[in-house]
């Protein structure tokens, strides 16, 4: 019986109405379904997708060098020295293999490779998606002594696969593409973003050379990432400016049931933070997952067992967090059919991974501890200290709880709250200084804008444990105004505002306060950064007047433009030194009115950078410190819409 006979009339009618979008047209119609978004993240995703294919070739052992070049015309070229995508006719599709890979969604079949292909999530959607979202794309393949080429426009081939030359025995694939400006909000690649990912990929795939070039400026940049030590070097890199509890990272690697598990870890001495990065098939699983929980369980149980066997740490109850205090770890797993879940598809879901990782880590770690009793001893000692501090912190927290300081119902006295209770509409301005706070209170739209002025010093979240943080008045008022808890208990769904806007002066002190706040939010309320709830206000740098007309310039360039327009005669220029110099109306018009203001979103990377730069900022060296402040005080560019 064929399908149509079992459908009744109504069903036939309904299915006719469904417009079946075929192939790459569907990708252009709903790009976000394939690459997550069409903003800067989606744009960079294109490069990751192409590079992933070369990484696959490297993971199978056929390629040891990948080059990524940013070209002056905003295109990107990715090349590798792998086997080259096959060019022979595909038996079922009567087209050359390379054309199928470039034009069919999830091209598989004969050209499927055996390696740990990424599936699900945003990665692994296939290069055909990149092709569909490119104004043009060109692929060149070196194979069997020849060079072949095919060109495409918006995903459609505009040439055959042509042989364009001969070549020695070397082989490889080169893909050059120009993202389509009709699809993307921006087509400008960020070198630093790509650099971070390429470095990460080089750490995760030991021995692989990845070259990144920026050919867009007169002074070309070229960097090579190549780490024979793999994730051990990754941990060394993450801990590069920290004091270590023991000299070498602990490392092991094992393959079991067709799954690879690799771990490198090392504790820091004084930093109380932890940095545990988990990867699955080269994807940074920021939301964690089964591999991470397997690792955490193994760490806690193994160290508990070790303590019991050796009668250590008996005077205090050590918990999992205590063993993780100050820990830097990279866990890297490779598995055949990964399931990615969660809001950003960065949570590993495969349930079998928990047990596999747990048993491998337990065995290997126990062996290590027994062979290295000195290291075991310092780890336990640190955990004991952490456990004691945790108990003290709990007492401090209970104290503040009793006083009602962490309850959102009991808002801090300095807060001028807004009247709209809907968090998606409400905004919290955290304002440096009383006078600016006063202007902001008068100038704001009290329907949806709340003002929290900060007076005292903000404590450095990198140096302090949570109990110390909770003793700080300013920190406590921020916690209670936001009303979503702190640290492990922080719940972004409880946040009373979906825009939290830091408003500080554009001077050195302002930069310092901003950095302290970034570090605090990064360490203790990171989900706010992940969700994009944290912003920085951008007050204007200049007020330019001519007659009755008033203009505001937010950047030096804007100032020049305005001056060019007005001419030089009878023009008054005032440089704003601080927010306090603006009256409430000016502050509203230039910095708070959603119609006019500029807000810069603070990302997790900004938080991370502030965190890392803290040593620099707080350190004794004056040179690098000054430089950082200037760098950080530069005007931001994201325009609030």
Indicate the length of the chain as a whole number: 641
Q: Could you say whether residue 82 binds ligand 0RA (CB under 6 A)?
A: yes
Total of residues contacting ligand 0RA (CB under 6 A): 12
Please report the sign of the dihedral spanned by the C-alpha atoms of residue 457, residue 458, residue 463, residue 466.
positive
The residue from 85, 283, 386, 436 that contacts ligand 0RA (CB under 6 A) is 85
Round to whole Å and give the CA distance between 398 and 390. 12
Kindly report the three-state secondary structure assignment for every residue of 386-402. HHHHHHHHHHHHHHHHH
Binding-site string for ligand 0RA from residue 27 to residue 66, where x marks contact by CB under 6 A and - marks none: --------------------------xx--x---------
Q: Considering the rule CB under 6 A, would residue 290 count as an interface residue with ligand 0RA?
A: no
By CB under 6 A, which span of 79-87, 429-437, 492-500, 598-606 interacts with ligand 0RA?
79-87
**CB of 81 or CB of 346, closer to ligand 0RA:** 81
- H or E stretch at 296: helix 290-310
Regarding 83 and contact with ligand 0RA (CB under 6 A), the answer is yes
Whether 432 is catalytic is yes
Write down the least CB distance from residue 111 to ligand 0RA, Å. Answer: 4
Q: Is 491 helix (H, G, I), strand (E, B) or coil?
A: coil
Decide whether 113 or 414 has the Cβ nearer to ligand 0RA: 113
Q: Is 509 a catalytic residue?
A: yes
- Asked whether position 80 contacts ligand 0RA by CB under 6 A, the answer is yes
The answer to whether residue 319 forms part of the interface with ligand 0RA (CB under 6 A) is: no
* Distance between CA atoms of residues 440 and 582, nearest Å: 10
The single residue of 505, 586, 589, 611 carrying the catalytic annotation is: 505
In whole angstroms, the minimum distance from the beta carbon of 49 to ligand 0RA comes to: 10
* Candidate list 67, 432, 589, 606, residue with the active-site label: 432
> Taking the complex as a whole, how short is the minimal distance between the CB of residue 201 and ligand 0RA, in angstroms?
14
Rounded to 5 degrees, φ, ψ at 57 are -65, -40
Smallest distance from ligand 0RA to CB 202, Å: 17
In sequence order, the 6+-apart residues with CB closer than 8 A to the CB of 245 are: 266, 267, 268, 269, 326, 378, 379, 382
Residue 507 is a catalytic residue: yes
Active site residue: 188, 314, 491, 509, which one? 509
CB of 194 to ligand 0RA, least distance (A): 17
User: Using the rule CB under 6 A, is 131 a contact of ligand 0RA?
Assistant: no
The DSSP 8-state label assigned to residue 556 in this structure reads H
Tokens of residue 47, six digits: 């490069």
Residue pair 540/553 in contact (Cβ under 8 Å)? The answer is: yes
Relative to beta strand 134-143, strand 499-503 is unpaired
Tell me the helix, strand and coil percentages in the chain, rounded to 5: 40, 20, 40
Two tokens at 25? Answer: 């047209």
Active site residue 505: yes
Q: What are the tokens at 539?
A: 């007050």
By the rule CB under 6 A, 350 interacts with ligand 0RA: no
Q: Tell me the Cα Rg of the chain.
A: 28
Which residues are marked as active site?
432, 505, 507, 509
Per CB under 6 A, residues contacting ligand 0RA are 53-54, 57, 80, 82-86, 111, 113, 173
């Amino acid at each position: 019986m064929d399908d149509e006979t079992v459908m009744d009339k109504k069903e036939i009618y309904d299915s006719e109405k469904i417009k079946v979008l075929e192939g790459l047209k569907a990708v252009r119609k709903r790009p976000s379904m394939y690459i997550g978004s069409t903003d800067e993240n989606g744009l960079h995703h294109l490069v990751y997708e192409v590079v992933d294919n070369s990484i696959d070739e490297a993971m199978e052992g056929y390629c040891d060098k990948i080059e990524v070049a940013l070209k002056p015309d905003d295109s990107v070229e990715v090349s590798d020295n792998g086997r080259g995508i096959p060019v022979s006719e595909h038996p079922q599709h009567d087209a050359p293999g390379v054309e199928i890979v470039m034009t069919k969604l999830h091209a598989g079949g004969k050209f499927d490779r055996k390696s740990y292909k990424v599936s699900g999530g945003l990665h692994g959607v296939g290069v055909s998606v990149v092709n569909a979202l490119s104004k043009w794309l060109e692929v060149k393949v070196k194979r069997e002594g020849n060079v072949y080429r095919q060109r495409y426009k918006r995903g459609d081939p505009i040439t055959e696969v042509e042989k364009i030359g001969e070549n020695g025995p070397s082989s490889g694939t080169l893909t050059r593409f120009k993202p389509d400006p009709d699809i993307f909000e921006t087509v400008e690649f960020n070198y630093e973003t790509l650099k971070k990912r390429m470095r990460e990929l080089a750490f995760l795939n030991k021995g692989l050379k990845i070259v990144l070039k920026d050919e867009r400026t007169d002074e070309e940049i070229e960097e090579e990432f190549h780490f024979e030590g793999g994730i051990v070097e990754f941990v060394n890199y993450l801990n590069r400016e920290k004091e270590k509890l023991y000299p070498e990272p602990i490392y092991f690697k094992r393959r079991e049931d067709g799954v690879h598990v690799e771990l490198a870890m090392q504790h820091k001495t004084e930093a109380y933070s932890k940095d545990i990065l988990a990867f699955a098939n080269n994807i940074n699983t920021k939301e964690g997952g089964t591999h991470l929980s397997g690792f955490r369980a193994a760490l806690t149980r193994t160290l508990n067992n070790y303590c019991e066997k050796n009668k250590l740490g008996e005077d205090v109850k050590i918990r999992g967090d205590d063993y993780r205090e100050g820990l830097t770890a990279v866990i890297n797993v490779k598995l055949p059919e990964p399931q990615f879940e969660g809001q950003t598809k960065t949570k590993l879901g495969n349930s079998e991974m928990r047990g596999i990782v747990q048993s491998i880590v337990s065995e290997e770690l126990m062996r290590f501890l027994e062979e290295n009793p000195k290291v075991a001893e310092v780890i336990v000692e640190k955990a004991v200290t952490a456990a004691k501090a945790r108990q003290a912190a709990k007492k401090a927290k209970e104290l503040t709880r009793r006083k009602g300081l962490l309850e959102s119902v009991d808002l801090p006295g300095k807060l001028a709250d807004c009247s709209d209770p809907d968090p998606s509409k409400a905004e919290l301005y955290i304002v440096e200084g009383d006078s600016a706070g006063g202007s902001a209170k008068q100038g704001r739209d009290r329907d949806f804008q709340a003002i929290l002025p900060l007076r005292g010093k903000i404590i450095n979240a990198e140096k302090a444990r949570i109990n110390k943080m909770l003793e700080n008045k300013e920190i406590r008022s921020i916690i209670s105004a936001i009303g979503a808890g702190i640290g492990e208990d922080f719940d972004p769904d409880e946040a009373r505002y979906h825009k939290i806007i830091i408003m500080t002066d554009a001077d050195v002190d302002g930069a310092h306060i901003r950095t302290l706040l970034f570090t605090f939010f990064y360490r203790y309320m990171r989900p706010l950064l992940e969700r994009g709830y944290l912003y920085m206000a951008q007050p204007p740098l200049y007020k330019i007047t001519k007659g009755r007309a008033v203009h505001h310039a937010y950047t030096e360039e804007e100032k020049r433009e305005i001056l060019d327009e007005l001419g030089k005669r009878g023009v008054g220029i005032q440089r704003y030194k601080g927010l306090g110099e603006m009256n409430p109306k000016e502050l509203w018009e230039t910095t708070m009115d959603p119609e006019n203001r500029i807000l810069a979103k603070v990302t997790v990377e900004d938080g991370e950078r502030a965190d890392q730069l803290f040593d620099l900022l707080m350190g004794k060296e004056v040179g690098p410190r000054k430089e950082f402040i200037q760098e950080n005080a530069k005007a931001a560019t994201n325009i609030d819409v």
